[in-house]
């Protein structure tokens, strides 16, 4: 199943941590650095995307791109069908609130 939407730039880390948890993937600082680096030069308007896979007990494939102003990140997430409800909840929370994890 594929979900496409957007998140606020400041919600990137919570977004990645939630996806990692849902896929049982051990997310490391090096993952965060690779994704932040990969986002440089992306553009949803120019159809330039960064792709990354979270391979845990379940695999989640990500495509990410910045908007022209850099305040939003557009995403396409390919995930197993049984994750539909948790993904919808995550999408609602991250598009409605500004979040930052505690202790990171």
Are 63 and 1 in contact, with CB atoms under 8 Å apart? Answer: no
- pLDDT tens for each residue of 87-99: 999 888 888 888 7
pLDDT at residue 19 greater than cutoff 90: yes
pLDDT at residue 58 greater than cutoff 60: yes
Backbone φ and ψ for 88, nearest 5 degrees, come out as -65, -40
Are 15 and 90 in contact, with CB atoms under 8 Å apart? Answer: yes
Distance CA 35, CA 27 (A): 11
The mean pLDDT of 30-43, rounded to a whole number, is 96
């Amino acid at each position: 199943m594929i979900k496409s939407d957007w998140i606020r730039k400041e919600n990137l880390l919570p977004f990645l941590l939630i996806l990692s948890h849902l896929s049982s993937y051990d997310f490391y600082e090096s993952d965060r650095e690779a994704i932040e680096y990969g986002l440089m030069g992306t553009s949803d308007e120019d159809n330039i995307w960064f792709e990354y896979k979270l391979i845990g007990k379940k695999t989640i494939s990500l495509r990410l791109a910045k908007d022209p102003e850099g305040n939003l990140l557009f995403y396409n997430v390919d995930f197993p069908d049984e994750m539909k409800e948790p993904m919808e909840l995550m999408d609602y929370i991250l598009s409605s609130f500004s979040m930052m994890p505690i202790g990171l």
